[in-house]
Amino acid sequence: MTRYIIRRLLQAIPLIFVISVILFVLMQSVSDPLATMGGRTVTRKADRERLTRQLGLDKPLYMQYLYWLIGNDWTKTDVDGDGVPETPGRRRGVLRGDFGTSLVNRGKPVLQVIWDRLPNTLLLMGISEAVIILGALVVGLYSALRQYSLLDQVMTAISFFGYSMPIFFLALMSIYIFAVNFKRWGLPYLPVVGMFDPQIGKTWGQVALHMILPVFSLSFMYFAAYSRYIRSTMLEVLSQDYIRTARAKGLPRSMVIFVHALKNASLPIVTVVGLDLPFLLAGAIVTERIFAWPGMGRLFLDHVGRGDTPVVMGILMLIAVAVVVFQLLTDVTYAWLDPRIRYN
């Protein structure tokens, strides 16, 4: 297993390199960070020329990529004699943990920009994922064990409804019902903007209250999908010969379900969860935008629109590395759940 993990990690290095090249070329091709540096006013031609030299954007694309990847040893120099250094200063590069500085946050380090938002995203997405997995396990197991019962049919209908609804529709519908109408009816209504009320402050109660609608919007669709996966895989496993043998030997029903059946039925679910977990770092772009949640999704959308290549590349590379790591953890989990799986 150790050799397999080392081999997978070594294979991931060229993959991440290729991903970084593609993303960097795309970002440089479709964005213009200088256009937004003037705020609401158009950046003047003289300012564009000065900023182009200062940020190193006048160099060939491959030089810009190498500067981003491995850094440089250039010192800041004044090219045109106006007292402003035009060439970029010393920078260690991504390979040494330096993702550069944001182009629109007044030179703030990229890692600091990401770290300011990452805890908010992990809080929202982590709780959403916990609600999805726990709720789907309960509903999926019950539906499999009580197949074609009234509750099974009701949950099936709700699941199909939830899976077919886009997230933005669920978010707007929840706002309309639990915020707008509840307030109109004189009932306790839920907040819909931000993480807390500025007049009260950032308390755990305020954060939990502001998370209800975003978590519901994020969880409902995935909960519907996960519960269907668990139901179908449990039904398939419960019909296997070894389950009938375990029952014939007189093993307790709970042991048959949770030890023998659920463990083997978890493999497809682990695959789905392993694919979804890396994107917890990316946040939920639509949900965070609708509810004004200060997370990674909203950060990504804002900086893509303003052409902030260092921040966008930092977010995308973080997701790429997370995908590789979580896929490796998924493979290791396979071997733990099913001892028949061996990696040579």
Q: Which domains does the chain have, with CATH numbers?
A: 2-108 (no CATH), 111-337 (1.10.3720.10)
Tokens matching residue 103: 């182009």
Show pLDDT as tens, one digit a residue, over the chain (344 residues).
777 778 878 888 888 899 889 988 888 777 666 766 655 566 677 777 777 777 777 778 888 888 888 876 544 444 444 444 444 455 677 888 888 888 777 778 889 999 999 899 889 988 988 898 898 888 888 888 888 888 888 888 888 887 788 888 889 999 999 999 999 998 899 999 889 888 888 889 999 999 999 999 888 888 888 888 888 888 888 888 888 888 888 888 888 888 888 877 887 788 888 777 776 666 678 888 899 899 888 888 888 877 788 888 898 888 888 888 888 888 888 777 776 666 66
Q: How many CA atoms lie within 13 A of 114 on its CB side?
A: 21
Give residue for tokens 């805890």.
119
Per-residue DSSP letters for 228-295? Answer: HHHHHHHHHHHTSHHHHHHHHTT--HHHIIIIIIHHHHHHHHHHHHHHHGGGGTT--HHHHHHTT--S
Answer whether 0.85 is exceeded by the pTM: no
